[in-house]
């Protein structure tokens, strides 16, 4: 690929509001983790903290990297005071770091360039503090009705305020912008900074930062933008995150400590934060005299495909990411002095990563030094890669590599070449090697989502290849190739399930006959919750799903969300319709918004401290045993105790990875969120990715089960009530039209342009 210049930096990490403070903390070996407090949990942490795993709704490990004391400065943002008031930290953090990076680039307020500036933002599809608060009255109202039946009186359905909002003079502002979790942060960044280019959010789990960087580079290489902001934000509700990793048993056991890349580590520490880079094409940055922090030389994206559980890393996918990154960069792995590892501290994940590196770099007789920034403030999930890349850029600039601070007995790869003495334990001079300083950064996410980036210190001008970097010595070109628009796209497979139409044939008949599919909410759809405000819509009345074919255990207590099952079904049928062979180099892009029904789990958890307050308000006195029994009954009625497979479904990118796993597809798999434009953004990305020439095809799919009671409530808050609801999923298989014609494939239609 043409090198992409990094010309602006912005970050907000635990203990560091900006790159300078971040670097100093790394050099000093500062531990920026701490125990979760009421400020994060919203209630007394003692209610939920459960190291012995005795509670159904608790978390086993309370340490994390938390951002505290942040207040958004509105200066320079194109948003009104009303729009900013009560805005969740998710959006505030994203705008802050994006403004920081844009200002650092020198292009803040440059309308001529900002019209051609876009943003790609990695973001979790998890509930936030504010989205949970918006839906809390719904669940409290259901509990109040149950209490009414007990006492024959009027119970107060107002939920108790979380501790972070008490003492603020009433209930505080309810900002309707908080109702949209997945795509809106990117939209608000674009609006707040006056950007006229493409904007989208994506979920590639813990690889999101590197995926966002790669896609932003693609937009620049394709000429669809002249300046891009790329980054990620991790600001989900802390209790939801702590609960999830406890369910996955990813935390250290009671009394244990997370030590990335150390033999003694038995789990990770989770964290939160945000980071953004400003990017330009290297030639443009040189022409314009921009300050260049470093170059993105190559990006390798892959998926594990079939073979292992969605939560277990697979060396095959990691090695593919390495191969594609160095083929894309056009540099040899021997020129890499240091690799910032994904290394979170989990015993399985860390050793798999080191063994994958040994197999890849060992083939070139090379062993770079390694480290992990997660030793300072934990695993920042979607934003983890931003911290790793920023650490590398600053290390190259200062000529020093900060220590991985918790190392005492460094882990070593199976063959003894990666790790061990090569793990950076003290502040270390950058290795003296020929040519510009180069490093790799890895990020691996749940679902087998892999990414590796090759970064280089800014050379001026760009030097010729090092001796031995002839084309024949580079990794095989299985990664991203040169840019170009690549011509029309052919739709070679498709499927859909919309409203009452279970497949394409039924949809075709209904459209031809002019049938009206809009009707009332199906009976019992809202599981006993009041349905008086249910809008009419094209509701899904259920669908049949083959768990055996999908290789998902049909356990009624541990099932994925219906949204994920429906998407998997239509994507599978579209791939079969296209005659795709399993194991192909195909990408899966799913347009989606987070499923708000996941808030039911948070509603269940909050009953643990809501219920005593509500009983007191209603004048009901129960014994401890009676109250405990009532609490369990109400909790189970609202949401069953979360199990592993169900919680996995809360992770947005997993629905794309399920498709990749079922078909053993090795291309990137992730979700795209841009509100009503999500499917078109996914189509645009497919066009860009196929134009590079390596992917065989791209699956573009979309899903929305918009008829949940939670979505109805959030739409009303967001000022979007009154519209007819549509539910369903669709999928297209896209190939380069020239390739499809060459292979004699059936073509439904061609996509000639996307803008």
225, two tokens: 């933008």
How would DSSP label each residue in 250-288?
-SPPTT----TTBTT-----EE-EEEEEEEEEHHHHHHT
Residue 641, classified by CB atoms within 10 Å of its CB into exposed (0-12), middle (13-18) or buried (19+), is middle
Read off the DSSP letter of residue 581.
P
Contacts of 551 (CB under 8 A, 6+ apart): 661, 662
- What are residue 730's DSSP bridge partners? 496, 702
Catalytic hit among 96, 342, 610, 639: 342
**Could you confirm whether 78 is annotated as catalytic?**
no
Torsion angles phi and psi, residue 322, rounded to 5:
-60, -50
- The torsion angle over the Cα atoms of residues 8, 11, 16 and 21, rounded to 10 degrees, is -10
Catalytic hit among 379, 452, 610, 639: 379
Helix (H) or strand (E) holding 711: helix 709-717
Count of C-beta atoms within a 10 Å radius of residue 137: 15
Please give the Cα distance from 684 to 672 (Å, whole number).
11
Please give the Cα distance from 472 to 638 (Å, whole number).
61
Contacts of 591 (CB under 8 A, 6+ apart): 671, 672, 673, 674, 678, 679, 681, 682, 700, 701, 702, 703
Task: Say if residues 402 and 391 touch (Cβ distance below 8 Å).
Answer: yes
**Could you confirm whether 96 is annotated as catalytic?**
no
- CA 468, distance to chain mean position in Å, is 38
Read off the DSSP letter of residue 90.
H
Task: Write a three-state SS string for 516-565.
Answer: CCCECCCCCCCCCCCCCCCCCEECCCCCCCCHHHHCCCCCCCCCCCHHHH
With tokens 């053993």, the residue in question is: 664
**Could you confirm whether 71 is annotated as catalytic?**
no
CA angle, residues 598, 306, 581, in degrees to nearest 5:
115
Q: How, if at all, do strands 117-123 and 697-705 pair? A: unpaired
35, two tokens: 């125990």
Q: Cis omega before residue 461 (within 30°)? A: yes
Please give the Cα distance from 731 to 249 (Å, whole number).
34
Please give the Cα distance from 723 to 163 (Å, whole number).
35
For the chain, state the CA radius of gyration: 25
Please give the Cα distance from 581 to 682 (Å, whole number).
22
418, 344, 409: which is closest to 381 by C-alpha?
344
Torsion angles phi and psi, residue 295, rounded to 5:
-120, 140
Residue 204, classified by CB atoms within 10 Å of its CB into exposed (0-12), middle (13-18) or buried (19+), is buried
First to last CA, the chain: 23
CA angle, residues 731, 704, 578, in degrees to nearest 5:
10
Please give the Cα distance from 385 to 54 (Å, whole number).
34
Please give the Cα distance from 100 to 83 (Å, whole number).
20
Task: Say if residues 632 and 551 touch (Cβ distance below 8 Å).
Answer: no
732, two tokens: 């297209």
Contacts of 712 (CB under 8 A, 6+ apart): 533, 534, 535, 721, 725
Helix boundaries (H) for 363-472: 374-377, 384-398
**Which residues are catalytic, by number?**
206, 342, 379
């Amino acid at each position: 690929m043409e090198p992409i210049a990094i010309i602006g930096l912005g970050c907000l990490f635990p203990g560091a509001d900006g790159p300078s403070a971040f670097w100093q903390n790394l050099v000093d070996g500062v531990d920026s983790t701490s125990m979760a407090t009421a400020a994060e949990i919203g209630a007394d942490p003692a209610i939920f903290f459960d190291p012995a795993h005795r509670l159904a709704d608790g978390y086993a490990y309370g340490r994390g990297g938390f951002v505290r004391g942040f207040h958004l400065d509105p200066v320079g943002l194109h948003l009104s005071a009303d729009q900013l008031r009560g805005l969740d930290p998710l959006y505030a953090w994203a705008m802050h770091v994006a403004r920081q990076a844009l200002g650092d680039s020198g292009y803040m307020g440059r309308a001529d360039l900002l019209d051609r500036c876009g943003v790609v933002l990695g973001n979790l599809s998890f509930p936030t503090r504010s989205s949970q608060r918006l839906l809390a009255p719904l669940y409290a109202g259901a509990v109040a009705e149950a209490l009414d039946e007990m006492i024959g009186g009027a119970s107060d359905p107002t939920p108790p305020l979380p501790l972070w909002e008490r003492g603020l003079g009433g209930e505080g502002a309810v900002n309707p912008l908080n109702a949209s979790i997945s795509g809106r942060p990117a939209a608000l960044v674009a609006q707040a900074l006056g950007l006229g280019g493409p904007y989208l959010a994506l979920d590639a789990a813990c690889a999101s930062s590197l995926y966002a960087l790669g896609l932003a580079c693609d937009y620049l290489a394709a000429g669809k933008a002249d300046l891009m902001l790329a980054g990620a934000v991790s600001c989900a509700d802390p209790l939801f995150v702590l609960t999830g990793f406890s369910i996955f048993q990813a935390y250290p056991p009671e009394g244990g400590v997370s030590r990335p890349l150390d033999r003694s580590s038995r789990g990770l520490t989770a964290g939160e934060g945000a980071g953004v880079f400003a990017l330009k094409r290297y030639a443009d940055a040189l022409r314009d005299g921009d300050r260049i922090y470093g170059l993105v030389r190559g990006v390798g994206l892959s998926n594990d495909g079939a073979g292992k559980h969605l939560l277990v890393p697979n060396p095959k996918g990691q090695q593919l990411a390495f191969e594609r990154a160095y083929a894309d960069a056009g540099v040899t792995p021997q020129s890499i002095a240091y690799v910032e590892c994904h290394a979170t501290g989990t015993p399985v994940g860390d050793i798999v990563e080191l063994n994958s590196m040994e197999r890849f770099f060992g083939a070139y007789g090379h062993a770079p030094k390694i480290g992990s920034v997660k030793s300072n403030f934990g695993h920042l999930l979607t934003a983890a890669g931003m911290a790793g890349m920023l650490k590398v850029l600053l290390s190259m600039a200062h000529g020093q590599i900060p220590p991985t601070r918790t190392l005492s007995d460094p882990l070593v790869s199976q063959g003894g070449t990666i790790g061990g003495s090569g793990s950076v334990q003290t502040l270390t001079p950058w290795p003296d090697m020929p040519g510009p300083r180069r490093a790799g950064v890895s990020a691996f996410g749940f679902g087998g989502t892999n990414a590796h980036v090759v970064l280089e210190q800014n050379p001026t001008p760009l030097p010729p290849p090092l001796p031995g970097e002839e084309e024949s010595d580079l990794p095989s070109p299985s990664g991203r190739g040169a840019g170009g628009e690549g011509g029309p796209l052919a739709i070679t497979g498709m499927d859909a399930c919309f409203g009452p139409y279970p497949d394409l044939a039924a949809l075709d008949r209904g459209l031809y006959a002019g049938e009206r599919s809009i009707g009332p909410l199906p009976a019992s759809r809202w599981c006993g919750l009041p349905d008086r405000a249910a809008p009419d819509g094209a509701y899904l009345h259920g669908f049949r799903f083959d768990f055996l074919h999908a290789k998902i255990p049909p356990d009624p207590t541990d099932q994925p969300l219906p949204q994920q099952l429906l998407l998997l079904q239509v994507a599978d049928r579209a791939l079969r319709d296209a005659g795709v062979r399993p194991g192909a180099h195909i990408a899966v892009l799913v347009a989606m918004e987070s499923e708000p029904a996941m808030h039911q789990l948070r509603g269940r958890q909050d009953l643990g401290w809501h219920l005593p307050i509500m009983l007191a308000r209603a004048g009901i006195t129960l014994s401890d045993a009676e109250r405990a029994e009532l609490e369990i009954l109400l909790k189970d009625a609202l949401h069953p105790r979360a199990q592993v497979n169900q919680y996995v479904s809360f992770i947005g990118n997993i629905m794309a990875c399920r498709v990749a796993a079922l078909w053993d597809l090795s291309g990137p798999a992730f979700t795209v969120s841009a509100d009503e434009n999500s499917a078109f953004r996914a189509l645009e990305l497919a066009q860009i990715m196929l134009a590079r020439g390596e992917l065989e095809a791209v699956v573009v799919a979309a899903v929305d089960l918009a008829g949940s009671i939670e979505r109805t409530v959030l739409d009303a808050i967001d000022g979007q009530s009154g519209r007819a609801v549509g539910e369903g999923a669709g999928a297209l298989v896209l190939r380069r039209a020239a390739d499809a014609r060459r292979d004699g494939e059936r073509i439904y239609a061609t996509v000639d342009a996307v803008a």
